[in-house]
Chains A and B, each alone.
Chain A
Amino acid sequence: MNATIVEDKTSTEAHAYTPGLKVKKTTTVDKTRRLPILGEVFVKVGDIVEFNTVVARTEIKGNPEILKAAGVLGVEAEDVPRYLKKGVGDPIQEKEIIASLSALFGLIKKQLVAPFDGEIEAISEVTGQIIVRGKPVPVDVNAYIPGKVVEVMPKEGAVIETNAAFIQGIFGIGGERHGRIRIAVGSPEEELTASHIGEEDRGAVLVGGSMVSMEALRRAVDLGVSCIVVGGIRHTDLTSFIGEEIGVAITGQEEVGITVVVTEGFGRMTMSSTTFELLRHFEGYQASVNGATQIRAGVLRPEIIIPHQEETSEEVDELSAGMLPGTQVRIIRQPYFGAIGKVVRLPVELQQLESESYVRVLDVDLGTGKIVTIPRANVEIIEE
């Protein structure tokens, strides 16, 4: 390599490669609730909404089905229209006769019947096919968080705003739910087991510590727990719980009867004390939770939103805030996985790791009297 490298210099700012997960006690949360296609919006700016308030509704076109009319009737494609009892745009009912052919004084009878309620969409004289479409399917979008409508996108949806605590997890399964927060373990190091969960937890958002056991997951589903928030989960447990191995992380659609939010990672992982204490602070509050995760450049992480009335602290421009000496970071890879510390130094020059790679690094004070050198790519900023 023929690189010109500026020697012996310390940069004043750097950008963490992994976007930091947000753990905020008080912030303004805006949720855009949008229909997949245009429809009707039921709320107006200033309206107060609850978790389940329907904000907007639309109808998605029903499923089409292609009927091979020429084949069924045993005629040429261009002759199909002669036997039709319905035209394009006509409504149809299940089992209704769409086309029929009678020959040899009624000895031969062939009929084409409607597979479902709907309408005739197209008739092709080239292929002899008829396309029928089922009835439209209604789709509702609810508010998901209680709050105030601050913006309405005509025919599309609305933005709901609330004052809340906001916690992002690293990985989750299951979709949007809500429930009352209960801290089920004594400390962030403790594992959430089946014995921690009781009848009174129906509909709750249960907070565990470092891991959730398979038995605990099963019991939680049996008892109707709404959501589990936990530091870590075993790969084998997750696989057997959802019934398949996760290949690419696009989650949120699993129908497993519960939403799970993992805050730290896979394996036994002590929940960050900041996250645990924040959840404990709001024990008894109602929270909105979504496990949906899509990991492409950190686009979508699972979230816990706890609406409350405590005062809003001043907002910081998160996008421009880089990593500086003093920034609090979490180490996200071996050998110091999970450790939290403060950035001491950001040397510009590349440094060699144990793996022998030369990369840009930073020095982190772990607060235990130990300063360690970590690749810049292996930390995330803790945003509080």
Chain B
Amino acid sequence: MATLRKPTEEMAYILATDVGSTTTKARFFHKKQGNWRFLVAGEAPTTVEAPYEDVTMGVRNAVREVEELTGHKILSSDGEGIVVPYEGGMGVDLYCTTSSAGGGLQMMVTGLIKTMTAESANRAALGAGAIVMDVIARDDGRQTYEKIQRIRSLRPDMILLAGGTDGGASAHVVEIVELIKAAEPKPRLGVAYKLPIVYAGNKSIRPKVRELMGDEFALDMVDNIRPVLEIENTEPARRAVHELFMEHVMSHAPGYTKLMKWTDVDIMPTPAGEGMAMQLIADTYKENVLGVGLGGATTNVYSVMDGRFVRSVSANLGMSYSVTNVMKEAGIRNIIRWIPFQLDEEDVASRLMNKMIRPTTIPQTLEDLIVEHSVAREALRLGLAHHRTIATRLKGIQVERDIASMFDQAMEETYVNMMDIDIIAGTGGLLSHAPRRVQSMFILMDAWQPEGITKMFQDSVFMMPHLGVLSTVYRDAAWSIFDKDCLVRLGTCIAPVGKAEPGEHVMTVNFEMPDGRTVEEVIYFGEIKRIPLAERLDAKAVITPVRGFDVGGGAGHEVEKTIMGGVAGVLLDARGRPLRLPEEEAPRKELLLKWFKGLDLYPEESLEELI
């Protein structure tokens, strides 16, 4: 529960932190002449693990850096807390935090049918900000003993149990409850407390579930996640997960009991904060958003499509702890294909292994930076592929199909089509810290291959989770900071969809620039061009694709639209969809280099030295 020490309109200073798996990030905000702005950032290693085992140490160190940089005193003199409210030139009026340290919220979910109730339970847990360790279903292809072994080997923070519609299947759901009970899962943090279980299945068997599990688990019953097959109702389960997270999980993590006393707002899992920020963008622009938090340990992908919010988390795709898992899953060749100079596989593998064992190091050389950017493309590509398996239509219900779709052999399961995405937003250390903003825009474009006209945003210095949690108690301040200091407008990507031979004409774009100038760009297949158009400026554009190419209005149809400018500008991407790189090494490197130089992606002189 939020207990604000001052009415929001009287506040002048706000401190927010995110206790990440690697780093604790403090962000300091101040209201100046009626406007809330971001002031300064402080960072320190997270101290959730041994030998420290007290998360507040990392928070204190990060806040101390803010104090050092601003001269503004925030910590109490004994170092045992944050001074709240602001008075006599010291302290802050509000302190809030998100957390993903110590592995975040790790859950196991169950359902009856893999593609129905289990899938809904998975979406609910992900939406609550959890990492889903496993999805157990009656038809998941595993033998009972295999499921039991798996459950025994996992140590989840919580289990979400779904299954059956209300009044529907009951015996099979009880079977799953019995399976869980027999396996006796133990909670991850501490052996002295009962493992929380949220039951969101068939209402009619609640008494039986209570009889089986009531004594040994901390059981919570909420409305059915699939009361009928046609409806998915994840909100009650999501809320229960969030409450139990605070009540059971957080209070057992090292130092969190102390941290919970410091904060004025409930601690929120980082991905939940990040998700709120993505929804804030979708709400404000009233458009479809595809967002990503590319972290050190995980990659979270968020989609808000026609108001429907879905989050996926790829628990082992990340840029530090999990960097070698990206290499394992993508294959080293897929990483090397984005590097325009010679590095052998063993060299790249060693660099990534060394990053994994020393996860907080950062690239000092351009060569190292380009290697990391190559890994990021693959992590993002795999993260989106994973997201598409979760952002799907509800299965198990009848879909009306017309004659045309009956002939369509593979009806698309996911509804995340790049042509329907209006906005792409990125956050996370690598994207936020990219030395040139055009680098993060290009990385996102290579990885996700936006289609048609797509606005591109990114987090300036990683504060989306902070603003997400702040928005729950003080939306106006959160949005003011979000708009002015957090959301960097990278620019717009215009990418026609179609295939042609290199050098063939694919589209003509006529811009009416903000200063009244008109600019005509004729674009050929295989090229990418950058048109400068500054942040917070718009240009009117008439985009005319040739026959067979589509920018959103249908193949060959002209589109007229206002185009958003940004720090990277407008990128006209005629490299085709799907984007294909030449198989052969020499032409591939040559092409990459041409794109890199054309976009002024990296310092040219240093880049030349690497070739």
Contacts and interface: CB of A to CB of B under 8 A. Distances in A.
Contacts of A353: 363-365
Interface in A1-60: 1-6, 11, 15, 17-19, 37
Interface stretch (A140-148, A201-209, A355-363): A355-363
A64 B150 CA distance: 12
Contacts of B368: 333-334, 355
Interface stretch (B33-41, B257-265, B444-452): B33-41
A246 B324 contact: yes
B364 A375 contact: yes
Contacts of A5: 40, 69
B182 A3 contact: no
A3 B69 contact: yes
Contacts of B351: 334
Contact of B49 (A249, A266, A296): A296
Given A234-B350, A235-B350, A246-B324, A66 B178 contact: yes
B331 to A, nearest CB: 10
Nearest to A265: B354
A233 to B, nearest CB: 9
Nearest to A132: B182
B552 to A, nearest CB: 34
A312 interface: no
A333 B71 contact: no
A2 B39 contact: yes
B348 to A, nearest CB: 9
B182 A121 contact: yes
Nearest to A9: B68
Given A1-B485, A127-B171, A378 B144 contact: no
B607 to A, nearest CB: 11
B362 interface: yes
A295 B357 CA distance: 7
A18 B149 CA distance: 36
A147 to B, nearest CB: 20
30 contacts: A1-B461, A2-B39, A2-B485, A5-B40, A6-B70, A15-B61, A63-B152, A122-B178, A122-B182, A127-B174, A127-B175, A234-B350, A246-B324, A247-B322, A247-B328, A249-B324, A266-B354, A295-B321, A296-B21, A296-B49, A296-B102, A297-B21, A319-B52, A333-B354, A334-B365, A335-B364, A355-B363, A355-B369, A374-B364, A377-B360
Nearest to A348: B68
Contacts of A66: 144, 148, 178-179, 182
B138 to A, nearest CB: 12
Task: Rank and list the top 7 A-B pairs by shortest CB-CB distance, nearest first.
Answer: A356-B435, A247-B325, A299-B49, A267-B350, A235-B349, A266-B353, A17-B360
A268 to B, nearest CB: 9
Interface in A323-380: 332-335, 337, 348, 353-359, 374-375, 377-378, 380
B68 A11 contact: yes
B103 A296 contact: yes
Contacts of B485: 1-2
Contacts of A133: 182
Nearest to A357: B435
A65 interface: yes
A213 B452 CA distance: 52
A122 B149 CA distance: 18
Contacts of B23: 17
A245 interface: yes
